[in-house]
Amino acid sequence: MNEKADIREKTIIRTSVIGIGANILLVIFKALVGFAANSIAVILDAVNNLTDAVSSIVTIIGTKLAKKAPTKKHPYGYGRLEYMSQLIVAGLILYAGISSVTESIKKIIEPEPADYNIVSLIVISSAVIVKLLLGLYVRSKGRQVSSGTLEASGTDALFDAVISFSVLASAAVYMIFGLSLEAYVGVIISVFIIKSGLELIGEAVDEMLGQRETSELTRSVKSCIAEEKNIHGIYDLLIHDYGPDKHLASVHIEVDDTLTANQIDLISRNIQERVYVSTGVILTAVGIYSRNTGNDEAAKIRSDVYKLVGSHEGILQLHGFYYDPEKKRISFDIIIDFDVDRKALYDHILKEVTEKYPGYDIRIALDTDVSESN
């Protein structure tokens, strides 16, 4: 385990332990107040804190399992288990929310009077402050170590502070005006819990399915590659996420067709080392696009093709152009926006280029816009 990963794991575990301790104390105090005051809202608030404590436990387990060394069966490691643990946390939160809304509706149908006192209000007020501070702390730590689970837990804690405040407000209304809003506040709390669970599920599923990498990471990788001499273009950067801080990637670089295999090998090794040291991304493959040199005919065809293809709306990029005069072959790649009919536009461009250069072997590869700033 490298030093950065070690620090990340310790930060997540330490923050989660603090969250567990704070939430268990809140569960105890809120449960005592809730049952003593016969308040469904306070009891559900205590249940919400209990799910937070369980979530922190699952986060710790998931973080530990995710750091297991790679095996023959799983050579890419177990990093994605952290996303699975986030999915489990989301399931627990969703279950708590559904159970809470059921109990609240029962209380609306068959209401029971609550019995608040000053001690109850003090406990709930303290809970608001604790949850607010805990939420800000956990969320900041999550952002610091790029932990989606911790960030979600911190945001959830801030929502809890709002929820606890609503419970406090309903208790004050009951004590002052004798108007019971208990069950209705319980429904509101339940809706927040369910919403939080669904959002967490969506985030975890997105991570496991794979999603567009951030501009910051792609720019950093491309910036490292661009430092190498003799590279004319950087394309098709594809980054695979195998867990937090574990990224494997492939890329195409455009170089002169006069370079030897030895020179290209040296370039590839240099950029692989530089990218890993600077960003932690492992470049598993470096593909080559050959660039025509010393060929005026190729330069003219290249310019004409760029103008022809670039005139169409929806074309994001054309790259990897190469003209082989002996085989009369023109080849290049295009990236088409997802917002247009990609196949139809591809077929149209292929037809146009073929008609412009009859008798030529036209080969156009349709690439996918897989990362920001691609």
**180: β partners:** none
Residues 162 and 34 in one domain: yes
Average pLDDT of the segment spanning 53-71: 78
Domain end among 189, 209, 229 = 209
Residues 74 and 193 in one domain: yes
Decide if pLDDT at 372 tops 70: no
The pLDDT tens digits of the residues spanning 83-133 come to: 787 787 778 778 877 877 887 788 788 877 767 778 778 888 888 898 899
Percentage of the chain surpassing pLDDT 90?
Answer: 32
Mean pLDDT score of the chain, rounded to an integer?
Answer: 84
**pLDDT given for residue 267 in this prediction:** 95
The pLDDT tens digits of the residues spanning 289-339 come to: 999 987 889 999 999 999 999 999 999 999 999 999 999 999 999 999 988
Residues 68 and 178 in one domain: yes
Residues 246 and 356 in one domain: no
Average pLDDT of the segment spanning 199-210: 78
Average pLDDT of the segment spanning 190-201: 81
Residues 95 and 23 in one domain: yes
Domain end among 209, 231, 266 = 209
Residue 235 belongs to domain spanning = 214-288
Residues 87 and 192 in one domain: yes
**pLDDT given for residue 1 in this prediction:** 46
Domain end among 209, 230, 258 = 209
Decide if pLDDT at 373 tops 50: no
Query: What CATH number corresponds to the domain at position 227?
Result: 3.30.70.1350
Residues 96 and 117 in one domain: yes
What's the total number of domains in the chain? 3
Decide if pLDDT at 213 tops 70: no
Average pLDDT of the segment spanning 206-232: 83
Residues 86 and 133 in one domain: yes
* Secondary structure string (H, E, C) spanning the chain: CCHHHHHHHHHHHHHHHHHHHHHHHHHHHHHHHHHHHCCHHHHHHHHHHHHHHHHHHHHHHHHHHHCCCCCCCCCCCCCCHHHHHHHHHHHHHHHHHHHHHHHHHHHHHCCCCCCCCHHHHHHHHHHHHHHHHHHHHHHHHHHHCCCHHHHHHHHHHHHHHHHHHHHHHHHHHHHHHCCCCHHHHHHHHHHHHHHHHHHHHHHHHHHHHCCCECHHHHHHHHHHHHCCCCCCEEEEEEEEECCCCCEEEEEEEEEECCCCHHHHHHHHHHHHHHHHHHHCEEEEEEEEEEECCCCHHHHHHHHHHHHHHHCCCCEEEEEEEEEECCCCEEEEEEEECCCCCHHHHHHHHHHHHHHHCCCCEEEEEEECCCECCC
Average pLDDT of the segment spanning 188-192: 80
Residues 95 and 200 in one domain: yes
The pLDDT tens digits of the residues spanning 358-371 come to: 999 999 999 877 66
Average pLDDT of the segment spanning 169-180: 81
Helix (H) / strand (E) element for 291: namely: strand 281-291
Residues 362 and 233 in one domain: no
